[in-house]
């Protein structure tokens, strides 16, 4: 199977002025047509350095995709860099210049002299028409290998990729397969615990299994390579079944499912109203609960943390008011080394408490606490709901 590398070009990327979303888009596009991607890199607007990075990538990969640096200004050096990497000169294309001028005319404008730079591409390169912008793309073939240079403007890059580049790659490399991914979400469990239970699966070749830790949540990614999407789906399903059986109630969902979405579904099914009392979390929990605005949920958020006894008193006060079926009170208390977290949930099923400490990056503590709070709600709702199918099963895992 052919291997690709992606090079994002732009000094603004290295300075942190903008976030590179193009690499992620291209990676997903390559995955869908079954092309392996083992490496990506970022380089500034310097022709010599770009050329060096392209040459190094060509030693490892069959395809090098560049994005950025195809504009009309002096500091857009990708055309020159690609020519240097291929060992050829730039040449002027009258046909490209006509395309550029026609594009400007459609915008009701005239191309300027510096736009003519965009009509120069490496000698022998295949020009790629840009139907949604003024920067033409191009392809340089070097034996069995290819350099594909795309604009940096996301809208233009995405359109050209789908309409021109994906069909080209499919033909050139006779791509027939696909690479699919599936993500299983877990909460209230650590990465090391997950690894202990599924470590043998992480050593597999196809499908591959990887673990990604987040505050209060661990994701397990399953990636399968196959000749067809249905075959990849079957491979993923078999591995996912094993993972779910081993991790049990820690699993709350998959792919685009969220903890708050699962909780909202459960609240709707069980018919409870809910009051959330958030203290010491700068809106991390209440902001996510606001997405469930069609449910009877009352949110009260205060940046000041409460002690466990103070939180207990506040929860009891709201229970005495009988304003909601269930009350969830949470408080995150920062510390010099560790933050302490308290959660009290009272429902018709009884009372539950969490008393945990967090020693990771302080800025992640509110996210961690919010995930623990939502997972406590999820597990409680799972007990309240009868056994069923669909998302009810996610609640009960």
171-218 residue pLDDT tens: 999 988 889 999 999 999 999 999 999 999 999 999 999 999 999 999
| CATH 3.90.950.20 boundaries in the chain | 259-396
* pLDDT interval class at 396 (50, 70, 90): very low
Contacts of 214 by beta carbon, 8 Å cutoff, 6+ apart: 367, 371
| Closest alpha carbon to 7 in 65, 77, 81, 86 | 65
Mean pLDDT, rounded, for 325-338: 93
Q: What is the mean pLDDT of the chain?
A: 91
| CATH 3.30.70.2860 boundaries in the chain | 178-254
As a whole-number percent, the residues of the chain with pLDDT over 90 amount to 79
Rounded to two decimals, the pTM is 0.78
CA distance 83 to 89: 6
Q: Which range, 113-117, 175-179, 244-248, is most confident? A: 244-248
Phi, psi values for residue 218, rounded to 5°: -130, 130
As a whole-number percent, the residues of the chain with pLDDT over 70 amount to 97
* pLDDT interval class at 388 (50, 70, 90): very low
| CATH 3.40.980.10 boundaries in the chain | 3-172
Q: Which CATH code is given to the segment(s) 259-396?
A: 3.90.950.20
Looking at residue 386, its pLDDT comes to 66
| Closest alpha carbon to 368 in 206, 131, 161, 190 | 190
Quote the DSSP letter at residue 10: -
Mean pLDDT, rounded, for 16-32: 95
Top pLDDT among 95 and 281 is at 281
CA distance 263 to 348: 16
- In 112-223, which residue ranges form alpha helices assigned H by DSSP? 154-160, 166-172, 191-202
Please give the CATH superfamily to which domain 3-172 belongs. Answer: MoaB/Mog-like domain (3.40.980.10)
* pLDDT interval class at 390 (50, 70, 90): very low
Q: Does domain 178-254 have CATH number 3.30.70.2860?
A: yes
């Amino acid at each position: 199977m052919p291997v690709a590398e992606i090079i994002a070009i732009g000094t603004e990327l290295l300075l942190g002025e903008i976030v590179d979303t193009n690499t992620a888009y291209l990676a997903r596009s390559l995955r869908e047509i079954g092309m392996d991607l083992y490496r990506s890199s970022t380089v500034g607007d310097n022709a010599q350095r770009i050329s060096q990075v392209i040459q190094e990538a060509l030693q490892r990969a069959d395809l090098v995709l560049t994005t950025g640096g195809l504009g009309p200004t002096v500091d857009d050096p990708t055309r020159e860099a690609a020519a240097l990497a291929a060992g050829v000169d730039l040449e002027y294309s009258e046909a490209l210049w006509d395309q550029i001028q026609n594009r400007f005319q459609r915008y009701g404008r005239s191309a300027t002299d510096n736009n003519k730079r965009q009509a120069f591409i490496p000698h022998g390169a295949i020009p790629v028409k840009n139907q949604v912008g003024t920067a033409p793309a191009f392809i340089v073939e070097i034996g069995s290998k290819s350099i594909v240079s795309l604009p940096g403007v996301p809208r233009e890059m995405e359109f050209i990729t789908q309409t021109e580049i994906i069909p080209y790659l499919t033909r050139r490399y006779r791509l027939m397969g696909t690479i699919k991914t599936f993500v299983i979400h877990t909460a209230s469990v650590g990465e090391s615990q997950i690894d202990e239970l599924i470590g043998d699966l992480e050593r597999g070749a196809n499908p591959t299994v990887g673990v990604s830790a987040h505050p209060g949540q661990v994701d397990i990614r399953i990636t399968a390579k196959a000749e067809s999407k249905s075959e990849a789906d079957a491979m993923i399903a078999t591995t996912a079944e094993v993972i779910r059986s081993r991790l049990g109630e820690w699993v709350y969902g998959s792919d685009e499912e969220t903890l708050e979405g699962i909780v909202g579904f459960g609240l709707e099914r069980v018919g409870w109203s809910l009051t959330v009392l958030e203290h010491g979390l700068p809106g991390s929990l209440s902001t996510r609960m606001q997405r469930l605005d069609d449910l009877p949920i009352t949110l009260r958020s205060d940046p000041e943390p409460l002690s466990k006894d103070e939180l207990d008193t506040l929860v009891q006060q709201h229970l005495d008011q009988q304003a909601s079926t269930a009350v969830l009170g949470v408080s995150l208390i920062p510390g010099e080394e560790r933050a302490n977290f308290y959660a009290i949930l009272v429902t018709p099923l009884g009372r539950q408490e969490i008393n945990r400490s967090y020693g990771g990056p302080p800025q992640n503590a509110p996210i961690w606490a919010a995930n623990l709070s939502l997972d406590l709600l999820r597990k409680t709702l799972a007990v309240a709901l009868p056994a069923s199918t669909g998302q009810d099963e996610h609640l009960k895992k």
